[in-house]
Structure 1
Amino acid sequence: MPSSTSRFTEQEGAAVENKCYCLREQIRAARFALVELRLYLDTHPDDEKAQQEYCERNARVLEAEKEYASCCGIDPWVSDPWPWDYRG
């Protein structure tokens, strides 16, 4: 029978995993917005408001990535073998 401390550890682990998932999703959405802004700026290079928005969003993405790295470590796909590394 598991002790209460091991259940707490499991709950804590689940909370961290959930936080990591939420951070990953926020980063993905923010990166998508950056791509869209970059595409817009490709056709509207003189739009200073859009340029400012891009810089602000980019700074937020960098901060979110730092938070993710400090809470969750590196992305798991970085440490896993790449698709071409598998040998059949």
Structure 2
Amino acid sequence: MDRKQQFEQLKQLQEIDFVLVELNLYLDTHPGDMNALQQFNWYAQERAKLAAAYEQQYGPLTNFGHSLNQYPCGWDESPWPWEL
């Protein structure tokens, strides 16, 4: 397992999460800004793609049924994303 690549993918997800939070806050006060809404949707789709690729290779990012898991990878394997 390439930890450097795993760390880089997590970093990309965190960067997109930051952008999504900022756009979400902006859209709370500017709901009619179509450009911001398009940006939000684009980043949301990008995040979904990156998260799916990460989970396919390294296992679930979240629990409570928000991430799929496959045998044999996942539950008993580390590091967990927050341990990197």
TM-score (norm 1): 0.67
String of CA shifts for 1:17-67, please: whole Å, max 9, x gaps: 111110001001100100000000001000001000000000000000001
**Which structure 1 residue ranges, 5 or more long, are not aligned?**
1-12, 81-88
Tell me: higher relative CO, structure 1 or 2? Use CA pairs within 8 A at least 6 residues apart. 1
Q: For this pair of structures, how many residues does the alignment match? A: 65
Separation in 2 of the partners of 1:43 and 1:66?
31
**Which structure 2 residue ranges, 5 or more long, are not aligned?**
64-74, 77-84
State the partner residue of 1:38.
24
Identical counterparts, % of pairs: 29
For residues 59-70 of structure 1, the aligned pairs below 5 Å read 59-70=45-56
Separation in 2 of the partners of 1:66 and 1:44?
30
Choose 1 or 2 for highest CA Rg: 1
Separation in 1 of the partners of 2:54 and 2:16?
14
What value does the CA root-mean-square deviation take over the aligned residues? 1.7
State the partner residue of 2:9.
23
Q: Which has the higher helix share?
A: 1
Are residues 1:52 and 2:38 paired?
A: yes
